[in-house]
Chains A and B, each alone.
Chain A
Amino acid sequence: MTPSTLSEPQRHLEAQIRWQPVELAFWLATLLPFVFAPNYLVLASQIAITALFALSLDLILGYAGIVSLGHAAYFGFGSYTAGLIAKWGWGEPLTGLAAAAVAAGVLGYATSFIIARFRHLALIMITLGLGLLLAEAANSAGWLTGGADGLQGVRMWKLFGAFQFDLYGTTAYTYSLTILFLAFLLARRLINSPFGLALRGIRENAVRMPAIGAPSPAHIRKIYTIAAVMAGVAGGLLAQTTETVSLETLGFARSADVLVILILGGAGRLYGGLVGAIIYMVARDQFSGINPQYWYFWIGTLLIAVVLFLPNGVLGGLTRLMRLVRSAA
């Protein structure tokens, strides 16, 4: 459909979701590490994976208002799925990743029936409980998962039969970044669709939704499953690019970290998780270089500062700044 055939209200809605120059700049900037920081591509790959994980949390927390303290369950489940398949002799990356997506999706769909029935504090406790359950299950199933030693013997084949996962992380970052970008395109389309609008409706007023005929529980089950798939893909990427899986992928700390990352960056903004992941991972890398034991001290300080001074995260602060500049000009 060309813009000229759109009515005025349609054009207005279209303008809200149009690609902005700053978005293109952001994605071009993600290519910079290849040129300027070739020694940091392993870190860059981890950042892309964390960003994908944070993006998946943004879909449920930022858009549908579902608070989760157990999102690592799906990340870890995807991670172990991808890791185990490779360990058992099928090291092809893309099919392994698809398997991680399916496994996490099935788990997400199964748990979504509980999730859709609760809100607020009860939801936090339930997601926390589910996360702990799965982490403990993985811990006790040492014969399968390797327990506290982690999953050893994951060997990946070449990507497309041509690109080896090397020590420098060139393939890893290219692979992670591509998957992140594809997932981002999907997420962007999703939140700009009628379904995305319904999710924002749930976040804005869960009481009104049934009164306008909206089946909120069905919407919640759907987005929760999609978010679980995305988290599983992120976990699968980590397993494949590091060729190991540890219990930490399922741990409470990972669930808490991704929440911090999203709030740091700004929830409900699609780029919040991405920006948050960059800040958090780079800060962790730098601070732990200065003093490995106390880097959480600085992360804590950063988090308090952001919540106090930038209640809508770094991106919210930037948006406000842009508006001030524009109104001053």
Chain B
Amino acid sequence: MNALALATRGLDKSFGSLVVARDIELKLPQGERYALIGPNGAGKTTLINLMTGMLKPDGGHIFLGEKDITALKPEERVKCGLVRTFQINTLFPHLSALEAVTLTVCERRGYARSWWRKLPAYGDAVEEAHAILVSLRLAASCYRPTRELAYGQQRLLEIALALATKPKVLLLDEPAAGVPQGESAELFSVISDLSRDIAVLFIEHDMNVVFRFAHRIIVMVGGRILVEGTPREIAADVRVRDVYLGGTRHG
């Protein structure tokens, strides 16, 4: 196993009496593609919110590489290389795709503080942003406002924004949510083509996609990690089948 890119130790979170994360021990090695699966309400998105700092854990620690990032703000974690996308499009409706990605690049390069030179003068940032859009096949519509883009293109833009931060670890919250099944494979091929320097953890409900693209699978139920293993192991696991097919205990 490679060195760990992301790890959590004893992560806990509850909302009143509702436990959404209990003693989460997650280990994501460098360059791997992990899937996070589980029934609705299992705490998958909550775990992403905890790891990216959008929620404060009640207890436990989060490590990015060797570094304890538990106390960092969300934007500081992004600067360290821990980046997420959103299940529901969380974009900038009136900015063009090019502007949105350029903004992200400018933030990373530290240009976003400067207000005395105009944006087109930062040619390196604009070029980098455009190259990212080209690589995700968004170049043709990159001058249009985000809200006018087709839904599938907006899902790609979600990923483009994340890539523009130069992540070490990418957490994708249902990247293909709402995308027709035929197109979701295309979207995931984009994800599997990502540089192997990036570790990826993705939440996904379509088991065909999960088994095809994930090196390992983590199954969450009721705020806990039930089991972790290779796709083959998970497919054969009785407890996992119980959760997905039995259905009565965990709804």
Q: Do A and B come from one complex?
A: yes
Interface residues of A (CB under 8 A from B): 1, 6-7, 9-14, 17, 189-190, 192-198, 200-201, 204-205, 207-216, 218-219, 222
Given A17-B118, A194-B114, A201-B103, A6-B91 contact (CB < 8 Å): no
Nearest to B133 among chain A residues (CB) is: A9
Interface CB pairs A-B, < 8 A, 17: A7-B127, A9-B130, A10-B127, A11-B120, A189-B116, A193-B117, A193-B119, A195-B112, A197-B106, A201-B95, A208-B86, A211-B54, A211-B83, A211-B162, A212-B107, A213-B104, A213-B107
B90 at the interface (CB under 8 A from A): yes
A17, B119: Cβ atoms under 8 Å? yes
Encode B111-133 as 1/0 by CB contact (under 8 A) with A: 11111111111110111011000
B interface residues, how many (CB within 8 angstroms): 50
Given A211-B84, A213-B104, A7-B115 contact (CB < 8 Å): no
Nearest to B145 among chain A residues (CB) is: A204
Q: Which residue, A7, A11, A208, A219, has most C-beta atoms of chain B within 10 A?
A: A208
Closest chain A CB from B122 CB (angstroms): 6
Contacts of B73 in A (CB 8 A): 210
A194, B126: Cβ atoms under 8 Å? no
Within 8 A of A (CB), among B216-243: none
Q: Which 10 A-B pairs have the closest CB atoms?
A: A213-B78, A204-B92, A195-B115, A210-B74, A194-B106, A193-B115, A210-B75, A212-B104, A14-B120, A9-B130
B103, A10: Cβ atoms under 8 Å? no
Contacts of A7 in B (CB 8 A): 123, 126-127, 130
| C-alpha spacing A201/B123, complex, angstroms | 20
Kindly identify which residue among B78, B111, B122 contacts A212, using a CB–CB cutoff of 8 Å: B78
| C-alpha spacing A207/B125, complex, angstroms | 23
Instruction: A208-B86, A212-B107 given; name 14 further pairs at CB < 8 Å.
Output: A1-B121, A7-B126, A10-B120, A10-B126, A14-B120, A17-B118, A193-B114, A193-B115, A194-B102, A194-B112, A200-B95, A205-B90, A209-B75, A213-B165
Nearest to A211 among chain B residues (CB) is: B84
Contacts of A198 in B (CB 8 A): 103, 106-107, 112
B123, A6: Cβ atoms under 8 Å? yes
Contacts of B125 in A (CB 8 A): 194
B98 at the interface (CB under 8 A from A): yes
Contacts of B90 in A (CB 8 A): 205, 207-208, 211
Contacts of B75 in A (CB 8 A): 209-210, 213-216
| C-alpha spacing A205/B158, complex, angstroms | 13
Within 8 A of A (CB), among B60-78: 73-75, 78
B123, A193: Cβ atoms under 8 Å? no
Kindly identify which residue among B98, B107, B115 contacts A9, using a CB–CB cutoff of 8 Å: B98
Given A7-B123, A13-B126, A207-B90, A197-B103 contact (CB < 8 Å): yes
B115, A190: Cβ atoms under 8 Å? yes
B108, A213: Cβ atoms under 8 Å? yes
Encode B1-38 as 1/0 by CB contact (under 8 A) with A: 00000000000000000000000000000000000000
B153 at the interface (CB under 8 A from A): no
Contacts of A197 in B (CB 8 A): 95, 99, 102-103, 106, 112, 119
Contacts of B199 in A (CB 8 A): none
Kindly identify which residue among B98, B107, B111 contacts A13, using a CB–CB cutoff of 8 Å: B98
Kindly identify which residue among B100, B118, B130 contacts A193, using a CB–CB cutoff of 8 Å: B118
| C-alpha spacing A189/B100, complex, angstroms | 19
Contacts of B95 in A (CB 8 A): 197, 200-201, 204
